[in-house]
Every structure is written in structure tokens, then in C-alpha cells.
Amino acid sequence: MAAETDEGTQRKNGLYREVSTELAENMRQGWADTERHGLTPIPQAAYTARRRARLSARFPGELLVIPAGRAKVRANDTAYPFRPSSDYVYLTGDQSQDAVLVLEPVAPGDGGGHWAVAHLLPRSDRDNGEFWLDYHGELWDGRRNSLTENERLLGLDCADVRTLADRLATVTGPVRLLRGLDSGIDTALTGRSAAGDDDEFRSALSGMRLVKDEFEIADLRFACEATALGFEDVVRVLAGSGPTSERRIEGTFFTRARIEGNDVGYASICAAGPHATTLHWVRNDGEARPGDLLLLDAGVETRHLYTADITRTLPVDGRFTPVQRKVYEAVYAAQEAGIAAVKPGAAYRDFHDTAQRVLTEHLAAWGLFGDRSAEEAFALGLQRRWTLAGTGHMLGLDVHDCSRARTELYVDGTLEPGMVLTVEPGLYFQSDDLTVPEVYRGIGVRIEDDILVTADGNENLSAGLPREADEVERWMARLRA
């Protein structure tokens, strides 16, 4: 499938004006058959089959269309690295660009359910020159799996995606489409699905992902382990001689993410000094100086595309100052209480409310609410000036996973074994906040861990990184030695 803009590539290759008949004939021949035989299914194939079966049962008799998405233009003819849509990955285990999963309803007389077909780009044709004359042919972009190879790897039927629009034109009956991912498919199905039905479909897919299966939990565990290695790399950089920059910290973590996984799961927040009070600090263009805190919020995305989401707030020179420690220990106490509230049967909101109460009590003890009690301040939400954000969210293929799930299942729901969520309280005192004593200004602290709900409580998947202040200092000293 052609790129949306490839004029720049054409211009570059325009240095070659014409293709002679001899060259065309030459390029057609002399290529070995590289078809791979004896492939075995990818490890998640059994899981993706079960997930598709659940989706099928939820929407009997309807045509279900889940695109992987297309490359996004970065500038002119350059694209961002491609990352397929999470729902497509969840249902197929595949990561191909331009692909579309289609679940076609099967008549009850023929067994019912759905026939799942992954529509993919096949190998490039060599006879018609496509493999080298199309600038996204395999000669330029690299070998793709053949459809037969993909059938074996993914454990589902595969077809040429270039025939899909025509095929969809012939299908009758109700359709549900995950819109906004593939403009070609959106156009092909214009008027075929109701916006409300598509919203319900998106929400159902998001809700299906709330409880993780064994494959997902194992991968999230790996993401946390790889992320811990990245944090250790950063601590070693902090110990180095010479100035350290947020950019170097970002690059250090990114190197580990690419070595161990696919990418970072979201833009790393490498916030030193007062930048730590800006929740979405991703500019990362400052210095990290001794005496400052570094708030590092980063996660490795694995090769299966599950991400960790971990924050540690570290003294750049390895030792907390007394006031930094005071704020840190308040956040730590809130996180401990929040994590303890994560258990099956608990309301999702419990860990948030619990952590917020602990933070409010500390703020009250420090006199930040004047004459008001912690109870009063909490009832009015006054702590939010310094706690800013919610205390966590679901985690999985997306950093803010399952965000389209129905409110009753998520924010107003109940925790179940297999759910994975972050617990990430923080305190953020802006540099220009005249309502707090000057010593607090410019201090931002967050501690964030990735918590699996188990049958009888929870497991901290990111426990490989220390959290308690003395342990953090000892860990840093060991890595700096």
C-alpha cells in the first residue's frame, strides 16, 4: 500500500529517469524462493484465539472490523515509527502496518460465531516490478511475511488487504468498525455502521482488556524488569563526572528500552529540580544538578507492546536534603496506604481515596490549610492544589489502558484478580506558589508502581526498584560505587 506522501523518495529516485526494458527484465529474475516452512505459532496465538472468541460471542451476527492503522506522517515524506493499534495487537498478536482484522459472521446453520481473517500486505510481486518500483515494496522497506507464513505464525486465516475494500462492499448486514485508524477502511464503510454502535464496539474492546491473561501478566512483569534496568542505567549516569542533562537521562533510558523492548511506552518524563512540579514535563531540556531531585517517569514497552509505567524521584547527588525527605516520606506513606487498598472486591476508587487522605493529613500537619482540619480540607478537595492528578490508572498495551471502558466497569467498578493498575501519588509545590513556605517551592515528588490484583491481595510488579527513602539512597550509593 503506497505511503500517503512519497514524493520526496520519488524525487530522490528521479535521478534515474527511466526503466529500460532490459533493466525491468533483469530485475524480474534471479531471486531465490525464500518461503519459510515449518514455522510454529507465536506464543500468544492461543490467547488471541480466546480473546477473539469472547469478542465474537459479544457481537453475534455482526461484521467486526479492527484496523491496525497506517504510518503517520512526521514531516514531508518521513513517517513516525509505526506502532499498530492496541486492539488489533490484542486480537491478533500481529504488528503489521496497514493490516485489518475482520470477523465475518457465520450463519448459525454453518456453526455460527465468526470467521476471523487478518487482511495483510502480502509479499511484493516481482513479476510486475512492484517489489522495487513501488517505494514501499520489499526491496526498500524489507521482506514481509508471506500470507502463508502469517497464517502459521498467527494461527488465523490471512488474505491480501488490497482486496478488502472490494470485499467489504459486497457484505450485507450490521457492521461495527473501530474508526479513525485507517482512512481507507473508514471510507469503504461510510454509512455502513452507526456512530453509536461504533462507540459501543470501542468501549467493549476496551473493557475486554481490563482483566489480563497469563501472557499479558508475564509480559507486564518483563516490562517492569526491563524498566528497572533503565532506571539503574540512569542512576549510573547521575554518578558520572560533568554536567548531566535531562536529555542525557532521556537518551539513556531510551537506549535500554530499545535494547530490551520495542520502545518507550510513552514519552519519558525526565524532570529535574522545579520541572518535577510539571506533571507532563517531556521537553526534557534542563540540567540535572546536585542538590536537586530528579523525577523520572518512564516505561519500557516490550516487543509484544505491553508497557511499564514507573516513577522514582531521586536525589541527583544520591542524598535527600531534610526537606526533600520530608515531602518524599509523605508521598511514600500515601503510596503504601494506596497499594494496601488494592485487592479483589475493593472499589476501584479506594486506592485513590486512601492515598489522597494520607497526603491531606500530611499537608494539614504542615499547616498548609491554615485553620482547617484535614477532614474539612479533604471534603473540599483543597489538597488538589498540590496533589494535582488522580492516583493511578489501568496499565497494559496502553499506558492509560482501557480508557474507553464503560465507567461502571472501570472508575466506578470493582477490582478483580488479573487487573493491573498504577498507584502513583505525588506532591507538587510550584516554584511560584506563594501559599506554601519557600522551602517547599520547586519540589515535586511522585512514586509510581505497577500493581497486579491477585486472588488474595496484590503483587507489586515493579518491586525490583526500591521506594523507601533510605533504601533509595543505599541503592543509589551501590550503583554509584
What is the contact surface with ligand GLY in residues (CB under 6 A)? Answer: 266, 297, 309, 393, 399, 424, 448
**Closest CB to ligand GLY among 99 and 399?**
399
Helix, strand, coil % over all residues of the chain, rounded to 5: 40, 15, 45
Q: What is the nearest approach in angstroms of ligand GLY to the Cβ of residue 255?
A: 19
Position with the least CB separation from ligand GLY: 297
Nearer to ligand GLY, 215 or 266 (CB): 266
Nearer to ligand GLY, 292 or 309 (CB): 309
What track of x and - describes contact with Mn ion for positions 271 through 310 (by CB under 5 A)? Answer: --------------------------x-----------x-
| Secondary structure string (H, E, C) spanning 249-307 | HHHHHHHHHHHHCCEECCCCEEEEHHHHHCCCCCCCCCEECCCCEEEEEECEECCCCCE
- The least distance separating ligand GLY from the CB of residue 424, rounded to whole angstroms, comes to 6
CB-CB contact of 454 with 384 (8 Å): no
Cα angle value 243/245/246 (rounded, 5°): 160
The least distance separating Mn ion from the CB of residue 306, rounded to whole angstroms, comes to: 14
398 near Mn ion, judged by CB under 5 A: no
- Closest to ligand GLY by CB, 250 vs 309, is 309
How big is the site for Mn ion, counted in residues (CB under 5 A)?
Answer: 4
Measure Cα distances from 479 to 104, 223, 383 in Å.
55, 21, 36
Q: Which is nearer to ligand GLY, 301 or 424 (CB)?
A: 424
What dihedral angle (degrees, nearest 10) is formed by the CA atoms of 211, 213, 214, 217? -50
Cα separation, 96 vs 100, in Å, equals: 9
Residue 266 interacts with, from ligand GLY, Mn ion, none (CB under 5-8 Å by kind)? ligand GLY
Q: Does 422 bind Mn ion (CB under 5 A)?
A: yes
Q: 232 near 259, Cβ under 8 Å?
A: no
The amino acid at 63: L
- Residue 298 CB, nearest approach to Mn ion (Å): 8
193/252 with CB nearer ligand GLY: 252
Measured CA to CA, the distance from residue 51 to residue 49 in angstroms comes to 5
**Least distance between ligand GLY and beta carbon 454 (Å):** 22
Q: Which three cell numbers stand for residue 478?
A: 551501590
Using the minimum distance from each CB to ligand GLY, give the nearer residue, 62 or 297: 297
Which residue intervals of 156-213 are DSSP H helices? 164-170, 183-188, 195-208
Q: Is 134 in the site for Mn ion (CB under 5 A)?
A: no
CB 101 within 8 A of CB 116: yes
Q: In terms of CB distance, is 308 or 374 closer to ligand GLY?
A: 308
Closest distance between ligand GLY and the C-beta of residue 389, in Å? Answer: 8
Q: How many CB atoms lie within 10 A of CB 7?
A: 12
Give the closest residue to 401 by CA, choosing from 412, 393, 390: 393
CB of 403 to ligand GLY, least distance (A): 11
Output the residue with the shortest Cβ distance to Mn ion.
297
Q: Say how far apart CA 233 and CA 250 lie, in whole Å.
A: 11
- Smallest distance, Å, CB 309 to Mn ion? 4
Residues 431-450: x where in contact with Mn ion by CB under 5 A, - otherwise, as a string: -----------------x--
Helix/strand/coil for 422 = strand
Residues that bind Mn ion (CB under 5 A): 297, 309, 422, 448
